[in-house]
Amino acid sequence: MLDIPLLVRVHLDALMAAQIDMGVCDAIERNRPVGKPTAMSAPHLPKVAGIDPSVPPPAHTPAPLPTSAPVTTAAPGAVIQDRLAGWVSDLTTLHELTERLARTSLLDDALDELLRAGAALVGARRGLVVLEPADGLGPAVTTGLGLAHADLGHIETVPRSATPYGRILDGLPGADGGSDLVGEAGGGPDPRHREVAARLGYAASYTLPLTTDAGVRLGAVVWLYDEPAEPAERRRHLIGLYLGQAAEHVDRLVELDRARTRLATVTEELLPSRLPRVTRVQLAARHRTGPHGGGDWYDALALPEGALGLAVGSVTGSGPSAVAAMGGLRASLRAYAVMEGEDPVAVLSDLELLLRLTEPARSATALFAYCEPARRKIVLAGAGHTPPLIVGERRTEYVETSLSAPLGMLACWEAPSVEIEPAPGETVLLYTDGLLHRTGDPMDRAFARLHAAAASVPRAAREDPGAIADHVLRTVLPDGLDASGGAEDVVLLAARFA
């Protein structure tokens, strides 16, 4: 086996790695050693396998270097090794930033992550992304990094044609982006642009389009510099690669956001646009659809002889099919309530039969209450649904309803109705189990949490059912009803009796 010195092996490995990137001839020419390694410049090489090869003396001797300006010659392959190390570092950084972006599942979170990662790559502290898909279907979003809403408002007062991102969005000449100085000496003649830049304290910007590989324009990204500056070529190359991946991810989230918006719109249209006004009863409802679109619903309708019908329910499953089933179930319950609303058991029995015939593979929970406000009397029945909660000055308690399986899971109806009489000023809360599931607690603890929230309603808020509902939701759901973390629908219907 040949005993090749380690130094020679290192340089050969580096040379082979360079040949892969720049070609054999270029690599040999660029990395031709200036001086020979120590082992190879000796008069006699060590014997290898018994052979003593003699090396003839060189034909000339290199001139000595001036002592006044010593020059240190890098070892062969050192430049290549440094370059390879830089490439590995850049690829590692790009991989980490792309992975962080891929973990975002909401459009707003993705835009925030894009701005932060891009600012790190181009060496800026502030920036904004203007999302404005070219197809005009939205969503139109402007998100800032290190910029308040007022700052974004100031930037929007600049004519779009005077800003690089505006030219990109409008498809005007010079829509490729790049660096832009906004001082008196450059960056466009628009005085409003210079005024806003001076107000916000930035002197230069770097703008790039947010475009997919298929050429679909989604928007533009701008990073702002406090002083006249622009990213180096290496940084420009990295941010270009990063935005290429980011555009594909943002494009997918845009489509997902559009689908969620359409589904939420359909769901809201299937629910009551307004609550009826009935003497001696105040009503308030709170409803939020989960990100996947569920089948939770509520209803309130005026019935003959001054009566009032209240209903809440939930259909199993999610997505468009669950929303469609929910709409059909709610419409059917309204018809049954008008015909025989004074008997909630009969209403739910008819609903049970309808669900078994039309949706045999689906089940649902429902609760229907027939209210006589003049007598402060409520007759209710439930099918696998959570019990109502009475909130008042002297009591906060759950209504003891008869146990029953959900709709679609009974051969016949057996659970009887329950009659309650709320005192003047008491509020009855009807809700779906999505409110309990969003807490993340086991059901027994979730029920206790809801009870504690209702019991802690301030005295000043007890006269307004909307204020009661808001307090309960804020207390039960610390992240708020508008938080996007919960996958469940939430329905809360409050009826306060005078």
Phi, psi (deg, nearest 5) at residue 427: -120, 135
Residue 361 is predicted with a pLDDT of 86
Per-residue tokens: 277? 């006004």
Q: How confident is the model at residue 26 (pLDDT cuts 50, 70, 90)?
A: very low
What value does the mean pLDDT take over residues 13-19?
Answer: 40
CB 219, CB 133: distance < 8 Å = yes
User: 228: which DSSP letter?
Assistant: S
Instruction: Tell me the H-state helices in 299-440.
Output: 320-340, 344-358, 433-437
Q: What tokens appear for 329 in the block?
A: 């179930």
Give me the pLDDT at residue 317, please. 85
**Is residue 59 scored above 60 in pLDDT?**
no
Which of 456 and 12 is assigned the larger pLDDT? Answer: 456
Beta bridge partners of residue 297, listed in sequence order: 313
Q: Which residue has the tokens 């009863």?
A: 281
Residue 74's pLDDT is 58
What is the rounded CA–CA span in Å between residue 452 and residue 458?
12
Any idea which architecture 271-497 has in CATH? 4-Layer Sandwich (3.60)
CB 486 within 8 Å of CB 438? yes
pLDDT at 17: 40
Residue that the structure tokens 């509520």 belong to: 298
User: Are 243 and 260 within 8 A, CB to CB?
Assistant: no
Q: Is the peptide bond before 139 cis (omega within 30 degrees of 0)?
A: yes
Tell me how far apart the alpha carbons of residues 117 and 221 are, in angstroms, rounded to a whole number. 12
As a whole number, the mean pLDDT across the chain is 82
Q: Is the pLDDT of residue 165 over 50?
A: yes
120 pLDDT tier (thresholds 50, 70, 90): very high
Q: Of 67, 83, 69, which is closest to residue 31 (Cα–Cα)?
A: 83
Q: Where are the alpha helices (DSSP H) in 341-442?
A: 344-358, 433-437
**How many other CB atoms are there within 10 angstroms of residue 69's CB atom?**
6
Number of C-alpha atoms within 13 angstroms, CB side, residue 40? 10
Task: At 306, give phi and psi (nearest 5°).
Answer: 70, 15
| H or E element at residue 28 | helix 24-30
Question: Which CB contacts under 8 angstroms, 24+ apart, belong to 84-92?
Answer: 84/14, 84/17, 84/18, 86/234, 90/234, 90/238
Q: 258 vs 242, 250, 255, 262, 266, CA distance in Å?
A: 24, 12, 5, 6, 12
Q: pLDDT per residue over 175-228, tens digit each?
A: 677 888 875 444 456 888 889 999 999 999 999 999 999 999 999 999 999 999
Residue with tokens 């309530």: 337
- Cβ distance 431 to 492 under 8 Å? yes
Given a contact cutoff of 8 angstroms between Cβ atoms, the answer to whether 119 and 126 are in contact is yes
Q: Which positions ≥6 away from 283 have C-beta within 8 Å?
A: 275, 276, 300, 465, 493, 494, 495, 496
Q: CATH class for domain 85-263?
A: alpha beta
Q: Residues 249, 102: contact at Cβ < 8 Å?
A: yes
Amino acid identity at 87: W
CA distances from 435 to 74, 135, 282, 472 (A): 69, 37, 22, 10
Q: Check the CA dihedral 236-239-241-247 and report its sign.
A: negative
* C-alpha count within 13 angstroms, C-beta hemisphere, residue 199: 15
Q: Which residues contact 461 (CB under 8 A, 6 or more apart)?
A: 467, 468, 471
Closest to 131 in 3D by CA, of 53, 210, 194, 74? 210
Of 426, 427, 478, the C-alpha closest to 449 is 478
Joined tokens for residue 121? 């790559």
Q: Where are the domains of the chain?
A: 1-38, 85-263, 271-497
**Total number of residues shown for the chain:** 498
Which of 60-74, 341-355, 435-449 is the least confident region? Answer: 60-74
Over residues 125-161, the pLDDT tens digits come to: 999 999 999 999 989 999 999 999 999 999 999 998 8
Backbone φ and ψ of 35, nearest 5°? -120, 160
The Cα 184–Cα 203 span in angstroms is: 10
Q: How far is CA 287 from CA 164, 222, 243, 306, 473, in A?
A: 42, 37, 37, 26, 11
Q: CA gyration radius for the chain? A: 36
The string of pLDDT tens digits covering residues 81-101 is: 888 887 888 889 999 999 999
pLDDT(9) > 50: no
157 vs 8, residue with greater confidence: 157
Report the pLDDT value the prediction gives residue 413, as an integer from 0 to 100: 56
Give the pLDDT confidence of 285-339 residue by residue, as tens digits.
999 877 666 789 999 999 999 999 999 999 988 888 888 889 999 999 999 999 9
Distance CA 309, CA 180 (A): 64
Residues 414-441 as b/e (b if ≥16 CB within 10 A, e otherwise) read ebebbebebeeebbbbbbbbbbbbbbee
Three-state DSSP class for residue 294: strand
Band (25; pLDDT cuts 50, 70, 90): very low
Q: For 389-398, write each residue's pLDDT tens digit.
A: 999 999 999 9
- Mean of the pLDDT values across residues 282-287? 95
